[in-house]
Amino acid sequence: GNSVTQMEGPVTLSEEAFLTINCTYTATGYPSLFWYVQYPGEGLQLLLKATKADDKGSNKGFEATYRKETTSFHLEKGSVQVSDSAVYFCALSASYNQGGKLIFGQGTELSVKP
Amino acid sequence: GAVVSQHPSRVICKSGTSVKIECRSLDFQATTMFWYRQFPKQSLMLMATSNEGSKATYEQGVEKDKFLINHASLTLSTLTVTSAHPEDSSFYICSARWFRDYNEQFFGPGTRLTVL
């Protein structure tokens, strides 16, 4: 079945450090891949997405590339800020005949210290 | 665009009472809405999928008689937690999908339910 695995948190970084959060997936067909961010007490916000192999999603300095050969969608940012502190979820969208459900990873908590 | 609201944002109720949570798509027509439950420090667990005008499809292990879902219009879905108990306390999040982009869901801000 479909599944998403993320690196465990919490991840603690100093401001301006480089960020990588690993995400790998298992899926049938060709899913779309997403990164969502959740700030404390809030719902999820879409950070970026990629719909086919080799696509790169980017937003607010974050990037992730859809790598079919390694079934990965790692999230990166060159220089994190305190305001990036949040929980990050990697997700894939199941195929149409599976209802297009989102399958989430377990989430990775990021804490950025000044 | 693509804003989803939830009401209430926070609710406290007594054990045995029922609570209704609303999920609205404010600027688009949502052909499908999803309801999730999230425990502290955990990921989102899909509870059910609702399509406008039809019965909701519940995930395995979710009690359909306890978590009643109604999707009466293209902009509104409701989740009613019936005869709530303390173990139903959780963060409930809805999302909505529109026909133009099957792959993307737009999330509401969530509802914190506390059952005393």
Q: pLDDT tens digits for chain B (116 residues)?
A: 688 999 999 999 999 999 999 999 998 888 899 999 998 888 889 999 998 888 899 999 999 999 999 988 889 999 999 999 999 999 999 999 877 777 788 999 999 999 99
CB A65: neighbour CB atoms within 10 A?
A: 17
CB B48 within 8 A of CB B59: yes
The CA-based angle B21-B23-B25, given to 5 degrees, is 170
Is the torsion defined by CA of B64, A93, A5, A41 positive or negative? negative
Task: Give residues with Cβ within 8 angstroms of B33, minimum separation 6.
Answer: B23, B25, B49, B50, B71, B77, B94, B95, B96, B97
Residue A67 has what pLDDT?
Answer: 96
Contacts with B, A 9-28, CB within 8 Å: none
B97: chain A residues, CB-CB within 8 Å: 100
Neighbours of A105 (CB within 10 A): 24
| Structure tokens, A110 | 């990021």
CB pairs under 8 A between A and B: 54
Mean pLDDT for the stretch of residues A31-43: 91
Q: In 3D, which of A38, A111, A24, A114 has the Cα closest to residue A71? A: A24
The nearest alpha carbon in chain B to A43 belongs to B109
User: What pLDDT, on a 0 to 100 scale, did the predictor assign at position B62?
Assistant: 95
CB contact under 8 A, A43 and B107: yes
Q: Say yes or no to pLDDT of A97 above 80.
A: no
Closest of A36, A4, A7, A39 to residue A21, by C-alpha: A7
Residue A72 pLDDT more than 90? yes
Averaged over A74-90, what is the pLDDT? Answer: 97
Q: Is pLDDT at A95 greater than 80 in this prediction?
A: no
Say which of B43, B46, B49 has its CB closest to residue A107: B43
Residue B107 contacts A where some CB pair is shorter than 8 Å: yes
